[in-house]
Structure 1
Amino acid sequence: MVCRMFRIEAEVDKARHDLLRSRLRDTDTAASPVLAALRGTPGGRERPLHVWASRETGDFVGGLAGHTWATWLHVTYLWVDGRHRGSGLGSRLLAEAERIARADHGCRHARLDTWDFQAPDFYRKQGYQVVSVIPGYPPGITEYTLTKRLG
């Protein structure tokens, strides 16, 4: 059955994006006992987690941005200036984020996505394991999802 009573639009709209996310979370929470049990607990709400590195001069040289939710640390971005790669700074940023996630946010696991030309080997050295490989995402590149149990 085709319903012509709806207008379909394709536009970026932060307010509707946030409403969509909220409604989806409400629907998911109602359908899942696990998510329902999380609601109202400290781990049941998403919390940002950021770790920054700068030189004594204040120059930004690296950082990690992510969030915690449901006992998981989600690493969204980790970047180190090329002049400081290989110095251990990336490992320190990641370790500090994991420490904060465990100690302050009650996380037991971490997850992240990376591409084949970025840092899958770096993350493996930090104790992460590949749980998903998507070849050709985007074309010519492979995406990896990795997870780690936080001790």
Structure 2
Amino acid sequence: MFRIEAEVDRARRDLLRSRLRDTNTAASPVLAALRGTPDEREVPLHVWALDESGDLAGGLVGHTWTTWLHVTYLWVDTPHRGAGLGSRLLAHAEHTARTARACTTARLETWDFQAPDFYRKQGYDVVCVIPDYPPGLTEYTLTKRIA
């Protein structure tokens, strides 16, 4: 018997993620050859920019996994936009990923109203376009060689 539930159950989510990773690792020689557990291989990488008063001016949240940097969020507060802060945050994350974590490639996702042109100017290439995700928007996946 099966039961469908629509509630958030973090323990089950974590169990499902763990079992999926174990299955994937067992099935893939590439993943099986990686050192450490999947959770040990995915290492957070955060970069913060504070203004003169110590308030958050911008930041980048991501992680490194194997030889990849994955940028999850990059945000710059409105008064600080256009001054190169986003470029500096991204460059710092790429430098850290390359020099301290042996990453060779970076990836990220963005929507058409956000920053695909900004990322192209930083050397990123569009590798995937998903129109109407969500409806009325287009999502882009971009990558960049950083080594």
Class of the TM-score when normalised by the shorter of the 2 chains? over 0.9
CA contact 1:44–1:70 (8 Å) conserved in 2:
no
Q: 1:35 aligns with which of 26, 31, 34?
A: 31
Does structure 1 residue 26 correspond to structure 2 residue 22? yes
Runs of 4+ in 1 over 3 A off after TM superposition: 41-44
5+ unaligned residues in a row in structure 2: which ranges? none
- Give the 3-state SS of the residue equivalent to 1:65 in structure 2: strand
* Cα distance between partner residues in 1 of 2:13 and 2:122: 34
Which residue of 2 is the match for residue 86 of structure 1? 82
Which residue of 1 is the match for residue 116 of structure 2? 120
CA contact 2:106–2:143 (8 Å) conserved in 1:
yes
Question: Which range is displaced more, 52-61 or 42-51?
Answer: 42-51
5+ unaligned residues in a row in structure 1: which ranges? none
Note the 1:61-100 alignment, pairs <5 A. Answer: 61-100=57-96
Amino acid at match of 2:24: D
Q: 2:4 aligns with which of 3, 8, 13?
A: 8
Percent sequence identity over aligned pairs: 78
TM-score norm. by structure 1 comes to 0.93
- Say if 1:60 and 1:44 are closer, same or farther in 2 by CA, change over 3 A: closer
Amino acid at match of 2:54: G
Larger Rg: 1
Does structure 1 residue 53 correspond to structure 2 residue 46? no
TM-score norm. by structure 2 comes to 0.95
Q: For residues 64-102 of structure 1, what are the alpha-carbon distances to aligned partners after superposition, in whole Å with 9 as ceiling and x for unaligned? A: 001110210000000001111110000000000001111
* Cα distance between partner residues in 1 of 2:135 and 2:107: 23
CA contact 2:21–2:38 (8 Å) conserved in 1:
no
Amino acid at match of 1:147: T
Number of aligned positions between the proteins: 147
